[in-house]
Amino acid sequence: MAANEDQEMELEALRSIYEGDECFKELSPVSFQYRIGENGDPKAFLIEISWPETYPQTAPNISMNAFFNNTISLAIKQSILDKLMEEVEVNLGTAMTYTLFEYAKDNKELFMENQPVHIVTSVGNNISVGTHEIVPSSKKRDKKEQLSKTQKRKLADKTDHKGELPRGWNWVDVIKQVLSFEHFK
């Protein structure tokens, strides 16, 4: 079978396997991207695989130079590429794009275990990148409710000099209640 026939068969298989998968993107009939991890996951990364004319007899070109991967250290990127190239050598001569994507998905945690979590924060025109520990939501500080000047004034009018509401502020007028009940009889 010629290389182009192998490529056409693999292309058809990839389209049917990844149909509707938002992580998979076909850039051209010989170039594909796959996002490993969910959107917003600080340890997610993107792999781009493109086929040379003689693929699958020769190795595909694997790249991690996408903008999506800018937060990943060069050492981690190189480590991932090295491990993917080991898989390429094992599968040389067969259709391997699906195999490489699945291998990366299965080993995502292993690949990214030494990658620090980067959180980008933006304040005004200043952008800073920092490494932070992930804090459980129970330990986050509660924000105080901000009142407008009018709301503060109304609150001050309702309360006495100690900041307490007057006695009976939420009492129900008994006579009004009795009259409203008689009305329904």
pLDDT at 54 over 70: yes
- Looking at residue 19, its amino acid is E
Binned at pLDDT 50, 70 and 90, residue 41 comes out as confident
pLDDT at 122 over 50: no
pLDDT of residue 133: 42
Instruction: Please compute the mean of the pLDDT values over residues 43-58 and round it to a whole number.
Output: 87
pLDDT of residue 130: 39
Looking at the whole model, is its pTM more than 0.75? no
pLDDT at 17 over 60: yes
pLDDT of residue 40: 77
Are residues 112 and 76 in contact, defined by beta-carbon separation less than 8 angstroms?
yes
Mean pLDDT, the chain, integer: 76
Instruction: Please compute the mean of the pLDDT values over residues 71-79 and round it to a whole number.
Output: 84
pLDDT at 120 over 80: no
The Cα–Cα gap between 32 and 62 comes to 10
Q: Which of 13, 41, 118, 38 is nearest to 72 (CA)?
A: 118
Who wins on pLDDT, 5 or 114?
A: 5
Question: What residues form DSSP beta bridges with 25?
Answer: 33
Binned at pLDDT 50, 70 and 90, residue 57 comes out as confident
